[in-house]
């Protein structure tokens, strides 16, 4: 027995030695890089050593939540993680290459041991049973990094926004899917994404680093193509095609708040659909199930007629204030074949000779003046005329509400305040220039009085700088974005009045992107930023590269068409200049690159547009690929950096320099409380020099490089497509290098 034991032991020792040599040959160095050692991949404070074929390291960990990964050979090029394992100690399991950070809940301070096998991915973390003495506290550094102030949650400038068309994001419940009657694509229902799907992907959005989501209007809609929510029929009711048992709008808000994510509700007050408003006003039209026209055959799933195929009696208008003759057909004749006398024309339907206008059109002169304006429909030069914009109907299914009437105000304000009570954090207001400023502010101020601190911003589309009477524009100041952020009455002097408390999407900046960011440069950005003084508060503007209506190219028609590095350069700028950055769903993987933002041809369906269904990219079997995309990782890191530096969130800009291939500027929050010097580069390296900065030790959030400024001048190099973000007394490097930020 002794002889067998001796040779067995000898053989085991030889095998272990071979394994050790192999491990050392393959991996000359393994490190534990984590939040407890500044994510170092090559310092002594993170090294592991080989013991009996396994890599081990002991660290003194303080109580709290830590994050860590294993890295090889002194770089991030080869790393292992596991973002789904339990946080509880002891931890045992397997890690995967390039997976997310491992999180561990350290319940009490003490020495802990990490064990890792890079050959099979097995790892463990546990607290040592026999605790050595605690290490002495390190001596204070002369200039220690200053921990950034924690976000207050009370200032919306701290947020970054992810904007989605809810119905096109992720499908969690196929039972509530719905095909609109226009542009049918079998297998891709227009109403596809829903609240159940959104809730299931909130962790995806949190991992990406967004702290607020903006969803398209959730109120009940009616139109031939209403999946996007901009044809309101009942402001008091959430559209049932979005909800499921256990996944109501209230559930969405609750689940968002559990994750520290705020909810922005898109709101339309300028217009209703052409079905009127349930329980308030009815539009005189014939039931759609009686529509017939020679040569027109309804697309599946509409069979025989265009009535609501999911409603037992094929009615798509259940308005209780409709006249008796209309309501009599609500619960009868699903096929639409029983004769109905039209009280307006005297014709009997169904009849292919009856004008389609009686089914789809609106007689603007016969609308109820207590609810609607009666000035007809927009055309030609009306789009640059305040009176026309604010009293005429935009389209047949967008009927201009008499928003100045008290009954309209009471109805809409009551509904919106209900959503604020439900927990909605902020409001995005649609079609701003279609309301006179004073009229609009009565709504905004009502919401703010009801829920103090509510952030409200709006969409005022311009395809030029939009300075109005300040020059270089074809429309007056009274319909331009800056006007709504001010309270003055001089269209040539923004300073004639203070901040209105209402902010806007920065279309003036966006409109220059056709000349710069779409071509991978910064040309002209500096001149736009020099006009920041016209706004009530430029740091509250919401910035974006594209949205569901327009793209950044010369024709404003297509999703961003540039290469990934161009998009990365654009995001570097949007995440570091003043304003609140907003990403349109799918940009994190260049989704539908170059597709038209909306349908534009007579036979287009939305799957071929920028509004295509995104869910396939975030299914269980595809989400890891999505999260490895260079732009995903880039945006995630930008969110990490911005969240850690208050000056990037809230400070105005100064000393702005722009030379096409590069930019530089300073952002100073609260007179040095948070102070950062930023340099940006396009596809080539740039040398950045700025004079007149505060003295002190600066640390770059991108590289960790340190510069001690003693005479008010700072110079540094920025690699192509990257940024230098030098923070005075800053925390140092934030996040992990990627393809662009490095």
**What confidence tens digit (pLDDT) does each residue in 254-263 have?**
999 999 999 9
State both tokens at 285: 């039209």
Angle, nearest 10°, between helix axes 437-450 and 406-422?
Answer: 40
pLDDT per residue as tens digits for the range 97-137: 988 889 999 998 899 999 999 999 999 999 999 888 877 75
pLDDT over threshold 80, residue 312:
yes
What is the CATH architecture of 159-275+391-646?
Answer: Alpha-Beta Barrel (3.20)
Share of the chain above pLDDT 70, in %: 95
Per-residue pLDDT, 251: 98
21 against 299, higher pLDDT: 299
In this structure, which CATH number among 3.90.550.10, 3.30.70.100, 2.60.40.3620, 3.30.200.20 belongs to the domain 2-127? 2.60.40.3620
316, pLDDT greater than 60: yes
Over residues 531-565, the pLDDT tens digits come to 999 999 999 999 999 999 999 999 999 999 999 99
pLDDT digits (tens, 9 = 90+) for 495-540: 999 999 999 999 999 999 999 999 999 999 999 999 999 999 999 9
pLDDT at 38: 75
Place of tokens 């969405």: 252
Tell me which of 64 and 449 has the higher pLDDT.
449
Residue 22 has pLDDT above 60, yes or no: no
Q: Name the segment(s) of the chain with CATH classification 2.60.40.1180.
A: 647-728
Q: For residue range 344-396, list pLDDT tens digits in order.
A: 999 999 999 999 999 999 999 999 999 999 999 999 889 999 999 999 999 99
Q: So what's the pLDDT on residue 137?
A: 59
CB of 200 within 8 A of CB of 172?
yes
User: Where would I find the beta strands (DSSP E) of 493-637?
Assistant: 503-504, 542-544, 580-584
Within 289-405, where are the H helices? Answer: 324-327, 357-360, 386-391
What dihedral do alpha carbons 101, 104, 105, 108 form, nearest 10°? -130
The yes/no answer on whether domain 647-728 falls in CATH 3.30.70.360 is: no
Rounded CA gap, 505 and 459, in Å?
6
Mean pLDDT (the chain, rounded): 93
Q: Where in the chain is the domain with CATH 3.20.20.80?
A: 159-275+391-646
Counting every residue written for the chain, the total comes to 742
| Whole-number pLDDT of residue 288 | 97
User: What's the whole-number mean pLDDT along residues 410-418?
Assistant: 98
User: Could you read off the pLDDT of 24-36 as tens digits, one per residue?
Assistant: 447 889 999 988 8
**Whether pLDDT at 19 is above 90:** no
Helix (H, G, I), strand (E, B) or coil at 216: coil
d(CA 542, CA 574): 10
What crossing angle do the helices spanning 564-574 and 630-644 adopt, rounded to 10°? 10
Q: Using 50, 70 and 90 to split pLDDT, how confident is the model at 144?
A: low
pLDDT band at 139 (very low <50, low <70, confident <90, very high): low
Closest CA to 361 of 336, 318, 396, 329: 396
How far apart, in Å, are the Cα atoms of 682 and each of 44, 320, 687? 35, 59, 12
For residue 432, give both structure tokens. 């701003």
Task: Considering the chain, tell me which residue range(s) the CATH 2.60.40.3620 domain(s) occupy.
Answer: 2-127
Predicted local confidence at residue 457, as pLDDT: 98
Please tell me the distance from the alpha carbon of residue 402 to that of residue 372, in angstroms, as a whole number. 5
* pLDDT-derived band at 681, boundaries 50, 70, 90: very high
């Amino acid at each position: 027995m002794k002889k067998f034991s001796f040779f067995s032991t000898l053989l085991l020792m030889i095998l272990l030695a071979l394994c050790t040599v192999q491990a050392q040959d393959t991996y000359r160095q393994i490190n534990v890089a984590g939040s407890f050692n500044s994510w170092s991949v090559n310092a002594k404070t993170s090294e592991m050593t080989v013991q009996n074929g396994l890599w081990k390291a002991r660290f003194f960990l303080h109580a709290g939540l830590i994050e860590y990964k294993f890295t090889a050979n002194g770089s991030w090029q080869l790393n292992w993680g596991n973002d789904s394992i339990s946080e509880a100690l002891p931890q045992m399991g397997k890690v995967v290459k390039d997976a997310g950070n491992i999180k561990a809940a350290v319940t009490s301070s003490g020495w802990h041991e990490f064990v890792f096998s890079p050959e099979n991915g097995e790892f463990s973390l546990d607290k040592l049973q026999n605790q050595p003495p605690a290490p002495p506290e390190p001596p204070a550094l002369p200039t220690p990094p200053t921990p950034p102030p924690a976000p207050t949650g009370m200032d919306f400038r701290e947020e970054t926004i992810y904007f989605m068309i809810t119905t096109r994001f992720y499908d969690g419940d196929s039972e509530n899917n719905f095909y609109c009657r226009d542009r049918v694509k079998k297998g891709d229902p227009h109403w596809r994404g829903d609240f159940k799907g959104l809730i299931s992907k909130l962790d995806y959005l949190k991992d990406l680093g967004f702290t607020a989501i903006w969803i398209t209007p959730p109120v009940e809609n009616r139109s031939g193509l209403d999946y996007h929510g901009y044809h309101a029929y009942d402001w008091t009711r959430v559209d049932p095609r979005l909800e499921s048992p256990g996944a109501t709008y209230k559930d969405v808000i609750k689940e968002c708040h559990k994750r520290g994510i705020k909810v922005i509700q898109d709101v339309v007050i300028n217009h209703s659909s052409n079905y009127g408003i349930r329980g308030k006003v009815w539009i005189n039209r014939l039931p759609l199930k009686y529509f017939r026209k020679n040569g027109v055959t309804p697309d599946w799933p509409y069979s025989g007629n265009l009535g609501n195929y999911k409603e037992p009696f094929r009615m798509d208008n259940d308005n209780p204030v409709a006249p008796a003759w209309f309501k009599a057909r609500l619960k009868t004749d699903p096929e639409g074949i029983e004769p109905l006398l039209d009280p307006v024309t005297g014709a009997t339907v169904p009849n292919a000779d009856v004008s389609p206008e009686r089914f789809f059109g609106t007689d603007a002169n016969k609308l109820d003046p207590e609810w609607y304006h009666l000035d007809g429909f927009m055309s030609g030069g009306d789009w640059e005329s305040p009176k026309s914009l604010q009293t005429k109907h935009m389209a047949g299914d967008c009927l201009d509400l008499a928003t100045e009437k008290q009954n309209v105000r009471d109805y809409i304000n009551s509904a919106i305040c209900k959503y604020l009570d439900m927990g909605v954090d902020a409001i995005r207001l649609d079609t701003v220039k279609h309301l006179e400023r004073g009229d609009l502010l009565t709504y905004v101020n009502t919401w703010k009085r009801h829920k103090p601190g509510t952030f409200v911003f709006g969409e005022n589309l311009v395809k030029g700088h939009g300075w109005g009477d300040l020059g270089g524009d074809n429309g007056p100041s009274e319909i331009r974005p800056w006007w709504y952020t001010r309270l003055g009455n001089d269209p040539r002097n923004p300073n004639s009045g203070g901040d209105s408390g209402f902010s806007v999407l920065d279309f003036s900046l966006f409109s220059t992107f056709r000349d710069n960011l779409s071509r991978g440069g910064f040309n002209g950005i500096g001149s736009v930023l020099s006009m920041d003084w016209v706004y009530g508060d430029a740091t509250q503007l919401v910035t974006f590269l594209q949205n569901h209506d327009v793209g950044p190219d010369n024709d404003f028609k297509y999703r961003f068409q540039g290469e990934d590095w161009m998009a990365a350069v654009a995001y570097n700028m949007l995440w570091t200049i003043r304003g609140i950055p907003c990403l349109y769903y799918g940009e994190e993987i260049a989704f539908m690159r170059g597709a038209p933002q909306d349908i534009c041809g007579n036979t287009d369906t939305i799957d071929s547009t920028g509004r295509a269904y995104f869910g396939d990219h975030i299914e269980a079997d595809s989400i890891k690929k999505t999260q490895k995309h260079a732009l995903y990782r880039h945006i995630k890191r930008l969110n990490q950096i911005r969240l850690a530096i208050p000056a990037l969130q809230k400070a105005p800009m100064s000393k702005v320099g722009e030379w096409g291939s590069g930019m530089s500027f300073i952002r100073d929050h609260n007179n040095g409380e948070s102070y950062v010097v930023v340099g940006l580069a396009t596809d080539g390296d740039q040398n950045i020099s700025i004079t007149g900065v505060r003295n002190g030790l600066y640390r770059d959030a991108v590289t960790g490089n340190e510069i001690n400024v003693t005479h008010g001048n700072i110079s540094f190099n920025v690699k192509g497509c990257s940024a230098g973000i030098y923070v005075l007394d800053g925390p140092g490097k934030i996040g992990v290098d990627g393809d662009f930020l490095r």
